[in-house]
Structure formats: structure tokens, C-alpha cells
Amino acid sequence: MKKVFEPVSIGGMELKNRLVRSATWEGIADPDGSITEEALGIYEELAKGGVGAIITGFTSVALHDYNFDGMMRLCDDALIPQYKRLTDIIHEENCPVITQLALGGYYREAGGEYRLTEPDRMTAEEIGHVVRLFIEAAVRAEKAGFDGVQIHIAHYFFLSRFISPALNHRCDEYGGSVAARARIITEIIEGIRAAAPTLHITAKINCSDFVKGGLQEAECVETCCIMDAAGIDSIEISGNGTSVGGIKAHVNEGYFADAAAAVAHRVSCPVMVVGGFRSLEKMESVLNGSDIELISISRPLLREPDFPKILEKDPDAVSKCVSCNGCYSSPGHRCVFRGREQR
């Protein structure tokens, strides 16, 4: 029987428990991707809170990625020492850390300006350039002391859009079938494995795009099988769109669990699932009712960074997060209730 609070070995990483901090957007980095003291404080607090592993927030692989402000970046070797500070702080608490490598959008340079370019309009050379951006960022992550990298294929950012049949209508080797649309992903996985062999490679993917003509669960499962065959170390299942509101402990937790279970049944690598977990009872029910190995959480840690320690001490405790999503409009994406009350 799987227990949340037991050590587990996953793809070369040793975790003290099965709880993973899912990548969570902070939006407080400097324009060049430099990490701020505020961000270092957030991650130190998370590491001290008892989570088994941390996946950092959205970290762009490109300097000219203008999808939104405040992105961390691993697009320049000069940034490596800053991110080494981050990994050192987290490792002090015996906690592995994975950086989420992502691209908000591909911006083509034209006449000194950068314009967003959708997958259908990209050349094969531009696709190859994107693959190299991810590989080069992974090499920097390895030098900075990260234990792994997460390829962000969810939430309709660039790679999620690239594999979606709603947006990729290419007729070359990068379009058409599920395998062809996923070719960019396998090239990234294989490139990272060759260039940064010590890294755990994971990916976050939508179980569904939840849009007309978009990626559906069966195609998600097929894509995950392709990544598994390419040698990925783990997969995190999420879904398109913002986080679901109105989640209540013991009522409607774990809303991506069924989709994640379908993936876990088909792949050989470990699967983790995010999406509305608020109680130990539900987490262990999902773990023991499927082949899922890890539970990832986000919003509960915004309200209570020490939620893992609280839960380990009191198995009947539930998260104070009320799923209001007020954090999305707050500075640094902080919980709007944080500090207003004491447990």
C-alpha cells in the first residue's frame, strides 16, 4: 500500500515523501530572467514546509519571449550563478528541485521587431531552433544544480499549442498524426538526455485542451506513451485553463485523477497528478486506486507552505485553500488570505 509520507525513488531522485510542489507562477523575476530575493524567500519557505520535491514556476528558455511579464529565464549562461543560489537554498532542506522549462510563445524577429508566430507558420529551421533553446536551457539547469527539468506542454503555452490538433495543421513531419505533432517533444527529450545526462526529465501535459478540436484524453495518453518510449523519467497530468474553483475536501478533489490513472496504466514511467487535492484521504485513495505514484499540489501551498508538515502531523487536517483563485490577481501570486488568520 502506498503512503504519502514514505520515501520514494523516482527516476534517479530520492524524495522523502510523495508530495510534489507543482509549478506555480510567481511573475516577479526581472526582465532578463534574473531571480529576485523575494522569489528566493518563497522557495526557501516551500522547502522548509516539508514537500518531497519542488518544481519551480514557469522558466522561459528564450530572452525574446513576451508572453507575460516577470518570467524567470534560463536563456543566458550569466544567469547560472543566480539559479545555483536557488538550488543550494532548496537542497539545504533535503529537497530535490526541478525547473519548469517553458516557452510562452515563439516570437519571430523581423526588422528589429519580434512578432508572435503560431506553429503552422513556423519553418522547420525555426522548430529546430526551439528544440535547441530547450536543450541549452537544460544544460544551464544542470550547471546550476537542478535535479531535473520539466518540459511544459500544458496550459496552451507554445508546446501545448504545438501538439494540439486545434492549432497544428502542418503537413510536414511535425504535423498530422499524434506522433508527428509530438516529434518536437521527443527531439527535446532526446536532446536533453544527450546533453545533460544527470537530469531527471519530466513533462507537464494537458489531459484535455477542453476546446473544440483540441487535444482529447485518448491523444494525451498516446502522447504520453510516445514520451515514455523516448525515455522520459516521469509525467505530470494537468489540464487546460485556470484552476477549478469551489474545491472542497472530501467532496470534489482530484479532478484530473481519472485521466492520470488512464495514463499511468499505459506507461512505464512514474505519473504524478495535480488538480484540487486538499486531504490526505483523497491523495492516498488516488495513489492506491491506480498506478499513480506522486501527488502534486499548488494553491494549498500558497496559503500554507508548511501544509505537508501539517498533514503529516495531523492526517485528518485539510487544506485551508478555498479555491477562490484570488491568488491569480495578487502581487507575486500570493494567497489573499495569507496571514489573516492562525490555525
**Residue 199 is placed in which grid cell?**
537530469
pLDDT, residue 343, reads: 43
The DSSP line for 328-340 is: GGSGGG--TTTTS
Helix (H, G, I), strand (E, B) or coil at 33: coil
Q: What confidence score (pLDDT) does residue 326 get? A: 81
Rounded Cα distance, 241 and 154, in Å: 9
Residue 275 confidence (pLDDT):
93
So where are the chain's domains?
Answer: 8-333
E strand residue ranges, the chain? 8-10, 13-15, 19-21, 53-60, 72-73, 97-102, 107-110, 113-116, 148-153, 200-206, 234-238, 271-273, 294-297
SS3 assignment, position 87: helix
User: Can you say whether the dihedral through the CA atoms of 281, 284, 286, 290 is positive or negative?
Assistant: negative
Closest CA to 283 of 314, 243, 318, 240: 318
CATH architecture of 8-333: Alpha-Beta Barrel (3.20)
Q: How many residues does the chain have?
A: 343
From first CA to last CA, the distance across the chain in angstroms is 31
Nearest to residue 24, comparing CAs of 12, 42, 50? 42
How far apart are alpha carbons 14 and 96 in whole angstroms?
8
CA distance 33 to 75: 8
Cβ neighbour number for residue 146 with a 10 Å cutoff: 29
For the chain, which ranges sit under pLDDT 50?
A: 342-343
Q: Tell me the pLDDT tens digit for each residue of 126-150.
A: 999 999 999 999 999 999 999 999 9
57 close to 63: Cβ distance less than 8 angstroms: no
The pTM assigned to this predicted structure is: 0.96
Helix (H, G, I), strand (E, B) or coil at 333: helix
**CA–CA distance from 74 to each of 133, 142, 196, 215, 298 (Å)?**
9, 11, 14, 28, 22
Question: How do residues 254-305 score in pLDDT, each as one tens digit?
Answer: 999 999 999 999 999 999 999 999 999 999 999 999 999 999 999 999 999 9
Place of cell 498530422: 176
Which three cell numbers mark 245? 474553483
